A and B are shown apart, each in its own frame.
Chain A
């Protein structure tokens, strides 16, 4: 049963086209994009390209310009200078109208017309997108709102609104999902389900842009990360690219017999930073490019290692590095 329901939100060609990753999603290109209101500059010269089918995480503190970027991508506001292209079209142009059907957007703190029920709300949005109304009930089921479907949205909790918001975003067959802080208000189980749904879309080659504060949950979920800091694109790349760029160290954690800890410190204390973590655990920090060499040396040094845990890509550290403004350009 669950598999049947999943099929409804999963675009049809997941299993049919091996090139789904190249063919299905929309391409996004921002070139020297700037936006200012009166005297305040909200977006400063942002250039980035998102390939079809990529999942990009947009990270940055509140007020960094994430929502403004989304509005620009959706053509809801016009850039002060520079350009936005989605699928080769200017989203603020009239011709973009037909592409909108293929875009799912979940605004930050999504709100609905409170007097309508969940079903009425979704049916309303389905009509606007030209999606068959029969798709609505399964979608509500998918996001776990079947029991609340006939209740007014006014009575919904924050998490339920968020789920209804997700349901409207994935109506039809989107080729681009823009999700602004989608997991706020969701409990851990719902978050997991949310990311499951997201993964099925990602696997289908749909372009996804997701903004979030919760860094740990996005780690390893996105193909690339864009860090925005006070209107600037501070960094853009895969986790490892960013890691290399920051020059932040790789952490290798070893678990071994307690009496061997001092031996490790003696052996490696000069070539890298060694921090004992108690109970026979020890952290070694080294530059990314010396990681392999160090691991080899550890394995060959003759000490019995019970466990080794390499934590090379720490989104938290990278984010802090950029968002604290150390490297704003």
Chain B
């Protein structure tokens, strides 16, 4: 565990130095504050408190932003070092490939977590001060932060996978963008299309819920929008449309499964690479 920690510390320091952390925190805080104060304008009609609404808005924001930040951190982790020649030297050291991945992962996850905690924490503190919040809201906020970090972990690993497969940095970047579009945008559109076409309910609600959970981004949505009443009220998911919504814990497990299997794939693929 010593080697991954050394590598993680280096990644984290790099993140601090090249303003990666600062940029991510600024982005998340700025956007969440915007969402929080714009989102709390129509308070009173939905039955949620200020923070409840904010958490619902933030979870929608997270689905887009967290995977994006994670992929930007991770897409060149391997191919970038291979291209610059630093990978060759690093692997001649007593550093195995899984330790290298573990180290980068820990470092990047620390960067991402810091940005999420500070960004969302700041916005939530501001909203709670102005509009008040219940204990339930705070629990929802904690769950949002925790699941956002898990979502980040999934996309970090997916980014490393792209980075291990691609032979050039530009290719890895392209693959990462494609992955983001597919999982965050296109998948939902396709599901929506299926729902609209499938008027006779050939696909049962259960199958649909399963399809939803198969995508880590949607699993994240499901977890955050169904877990707490105050959130699901404002998100409109508690209505009759989602009578068999997947269990939030199943959604969490699906995300964890994504992270672990992506991590295993990275190690397998990277093990076959020529530095």
Q: Residues of A with Cβ closer than 8 Å to B?
A: 37, 71, 74, 76-77, 94, 97-98, 100-101, 103, 105, 107, 109-113, 115-116, 124-125, 127-130, 168, 178
Contact = CB atoms under 8 A, between A and B. Distances in A.
Interface in B167-192: none
B93 A111 contact: no
A12 B151 CA distance: 52
B257 interface: no
Nearest to A67: B88
Contact of B91 (A37, A76, A111): A76
Contacts of B241: none
B86 A128 contact: no
Contact of A77 (B6, B14, B86, B274): B274
B16 to A, nearest CB: 10
B239 interface: no
Contacts of A113: 10, 14, 86
A110 B6 contact: no
A3 B222 CA distance: 69
Contacts of A94: 96
What is the interface residue range for chain B against chain A? 20 to 34
Interface centre among B85, B92, B95 (most CB of A within 10 A): B92
Nearest to A98: B94
B45 interface: no
Contact of B93 (A98, A110, A116, A129): A129
A309 B85 CA distance: 45
A111 B84 contact: yes
A128 B91 contact: no
A103 B95 CA distance: 13
Interface in B1-59: 3, 6-7, 10, 14, 17-18
A129 B94 contact: yes
B275 interface: yes
A128 B95 contact: yes
17 contacts: A74-B91, A76-B92, A76-B274, A77-B275, A97-B96, A101-B94, A107-B88, A111-B84, A111-B85, A113-B86, A116-B14, A125-B93, A127-B6, A128-B6, A128-B7, A129-B94, A168-B89
B275 A76 contact: yes
Contacts of A111: 84-86, 89
B94 A105 contact: no
Contacts of B17: 115
Nearest to B14: A115
A124 B6 contact: yes
A74 B90 CA distance: 11
Contacts of A127: 6
Contact of B89 (A98, A101, A110, A116): A110
Contacts of A71: 88, 274-275
A100 B92 contact: yes
A171 B213 CA distance: 50
Contacts of A77: 274-275
Nearest to B93: A128
A205 B7 CA distance: 32
A68 to B, nearest CB: 10
Contacts of B96: 94, 97
Contacts of A103: 92
B55 to A, nearest CB: 36
Nearest to B275: A76
